[in-house]
Amino acid sequence: MDLKLDPSRDDLPLMANTSHMLVRHYVLDLDVDFESHIIEGTIVLFFEDGKQVKKQTSSTKETCQLESSEACKLRTPEPCHIPVTNVRTLSSKMGYNDFAICDKGEKDTSDKDGNHDNLEQASGLCSSQYCCDTGDHGREGFLLVLDCCDLSVSKVEEVDVAAVPGIEKFTRSPKLSVISEELRNEVVGELVTLPADRWREQLDYYARCSQAPGCGELFFDTDTWSLQIRKTGALTASEFPHAIRIWYKTKPEGRSVSWTSDQSGRPCVYTVGSPINNRALFPCQEPPVAMSTWQATVRAAASFVVLMSGENSAKPAQLREGGSSWHYYVTMPMPASTFTIAVGCWTEIKSEMDLVTEWPFPSSEANFRCAGVCGHTEYPCRFQDASATAQEVIPHRVFAPVCLRDVCQETLVPLIPPCLSAAHSVLGTHPFSRLDILIVPANFPSLGMASPHIIFLSQSTLTGMNHLCGTRLCHEIAHAWFGLAIGAQDWTEEWLSEGFATHLEDVFWTKAQQLTPHEAQEQQELRACLRWRRLQDELRSSPEEMQVLRPSKEKTGQVSDSGASVVKHGLNPEKIFMQVHYLKGYFLLRFLAKRLGNETYFSFLRKFVHMFHGQLILSQDFLQMLLESTPEEKRLELSVENIFQDWLESSGMPKPLQSERQAESECGLARQVSAEVTKWIRVNRRPRKRRRRQENEVFEKLLPDQLVLLLEHLLEQKTLNPQTLQSLQKTYHLQEQDAEVRHRWCELVVKHRHSRAYGHVERFLQEDQAMGVYLYGELMVSEDARQQQLARRCFELARAQMDGPSAEVVAQMLF
């Protein structure tokens, strides 16, 4: 490796040597075992070497331009019916939505760590020192490096794709008389570059190739962050096998997934959006540039539902030996870090009125027409599908533990169509053809997470009125465009995902509520006020180096010669609780929208989405296109350089934002809150005798965001009497409000040691773990013995189910 890593730092290493070989497709075949807390099986990786990638990239624009000029109509591929051997389950019908499911193969005979070949005794191979190869031939030549952590790898082999019946169509030879490495790589090279109109055939052959026999084991070694693979005699990437199969299993302590129980007490496992991403779920190439497609077959007991990032709404296939098998696939290339899976005893919660009828993508290949040039590599793109472009509400499903069925039916389900429709009205074509939404277990460390075709929502979004649920749903829907369809080329530029989603959530939500322009502006100004206060707090309490949105500056996007790199502060446990990328990014985009005018800005944003969907970007890609599209009179000395300097490459508060907030006056909703604060301060100052008289203040009804602001203002008061706190709670029924309001209420309770409401704090720490970490610190800082005892008791109850990084941070606070 030409990348020197300092293990004492908190940077996350991306080890894969993507400059030499790129994964283009993964085929996973996995079994989920809830008794051992292990996911076990195989993964087959299909590669292109660097020379092929560069050649394909250079010809992409020419191809797109040629096709768009002819207004091409993509032809329907002929159905492929090829005999399949070595299968566990085979459907009676073979189609794009139903592929053969391969056997999980030979039994693993490795030790409990799993880190040696399952033919060790027969072949003399093991994992250490590249399978204990004693000759120089195992140490020379090309080394493939994959990102891998907390996995037990037992075997790596080359896949004999030439053994698949009918595969000769992907070669220049009508008959495969002489099988060579060059021929196998030629087959894979043709398969991974099939045109978009042959996507069914491509997925079908990926499945068949993944079941082909092995044709030679490969030397491998593992270390903390990577899996390294060699083949004797393969001196370059072009000579290395382009299809390999890895036999592996996860470890119960692996950090990519969480084994836990749902709210009904049933076992489940799901990807938690770990800082190390998916490298503890399967060996992969983590750098964003390694954009790939995938298909996965997952088997579990019959009572479990498997949800995954996939274009198809998978249905279970019953297995002879019991259990069920689920198959998902995607045809849009995306980074492996976006892959998501959840297995549990979820219940599908259907709407009382079916607002949309589900249709598989594409709805009709006759509708699949080129509508202008796309800048991405070729895939079946919804932006070129006339029916997809017009689709305001995509098919969607909701899953949750059975105990949350009613609250989901009441709160979440009705919000989905208007939020999806609002997003479409702002940005246009939905990048993904369908959406699953899952209410994840209580240990989920955030309010939501978006992945291709699936959104995770915390149970905390379901309490109170629908405001928190609606805003968070809009935030995650926005990630379909910014974060998924358009990704950051350098993960340190997190603002390109979170800043956009935060800005767009307000726009989507006001449209979903069908507010008048004045009401929408008032609501957005109130939320800006709240975020301004939050940003000020964050900048006061966080290290300066963590406040910079573009920490690598001019080196942003650069990688080593091999393609390896690091994500600055990617392993810092405090980073997952920080909001600076959300907030600074939000205020930058709000600043730019104000400068251009909303109509001009969102018109530009739609053009930007159409140009860059399916691609990775850097900050300058967005800013340069924006400024080039802005009339000179509106730029007013704006440039990429000064935006970098003021907003992205400096710690602290951006100067333009400071000036803007000082010049702005309070919005009407904030002024109403200020009036209510004055009333409560007056109540709190009255002598106890006067309080008993009939001189009660008349308090106005407040919106959830207004309640948050009210409580934040009251937190600034040095003392609040128990009677005032009790009256406050009764007036607004604070324990019944949404999690944002209850969080501020709990802060007030802790600050003023309002023991009568300690039960509310305890409930919050148990049921709202995504937001409760900060409260543990408040309880300990108070140096009140009773509060510290409460914190330790709640932590002991939640610790076993709490996600690792959160538990680590809380433990440091308490002990």
Q: Which residues are the active-site residues? A: 476
Which tokens is 533 given?
Answer: 């206060």
Q: How far is CA 158 from the centre of its chain?
A: 31
DSSP labels, 719-787 = ---HHHHHHHHHHHTGGGS-HHHHHHHHHHHHHTT-GGGHHHHHHHHHH-HHHHHHHHHHHHHTT-HHH
d(CA 607, CA 427): 9
What is the rounded distance in angstroms from the CA atom of residue 197 to the CA atom of residue 67? 12
Question: Which residue, among 75, 730, 16, 785, has the nearest Cα to 366 in the 3D structure?
Answer: 75
How many whole angstroms separate alpha carbon 699 and alpha carbon 535? 29
Report yes or no: 119 and 218 within 8 Å, Cβ to Cβ.
no
**8 Å CB contact between 33 and 164:** no
Integer Cα distance of 487 and 618 in angstroms: 9
Q: Residue 313: count other Cβ atoms within 10 Å of its Cβ.
A: 18
Q: Which residue has the tokens 């880190």?
A: 115
Residues linked to residue 45 through DSSP beta bridges, in sequence order: 26, 244
Parallel, antiparallel, or unpaired for β 291-300 and 267-271? unpaired
Question: What is the rounded distance in angstroms from the CA atom of residue 642 to the CA atom of residue 619?
Answer: 13
Round to whole Å and give the CA distance between 320 and 633.
71
Closest CA to 435 of 494, 356, 337: 356
Structure tokens, 597: 């005018």
335 backbone φψ class: left, alpha, beta (φ>0; ψ -120 to 50) = beta
Categorise residue 637: left if φ over 0, alpha if ψ from -120 to 50, beta otherwise.
left
b/e code 88-117 from CB counts within 10 Å (16+ = b): bbbeeebebbbbbbbebbeebebeeebbbb
393: phi then psi, degrees, rounded to nearest 5: -125, 115
Phi, then psi, of 222 in degrees rounded to 5:
-125, 145
Per-residue tokens: 231 = 């083949």
What is the C-alpha end-to-end distance of the chain, expressed in Å?
Answer: 40
Q: Mention every residue, 6+ apart, whose C-beta is less than 8 A from residue 64.
A: 370, 373, 374, 375, 378
* Rounded CA separation 793/598 (Å): 50
Pick from 325, 323, 287: which is nearest to 308 by CA? 325
**Alpha-carbon Rg for the chain in angstroms:** 28
Give CA–CA dist 183/743, Å, rounded. Answer: 62
Q: How far apart, in whole angstroms, are the C-alpha atoms of residue 424 and residue 508? A: 9
Q: Which amino acid is at 500?
A: F
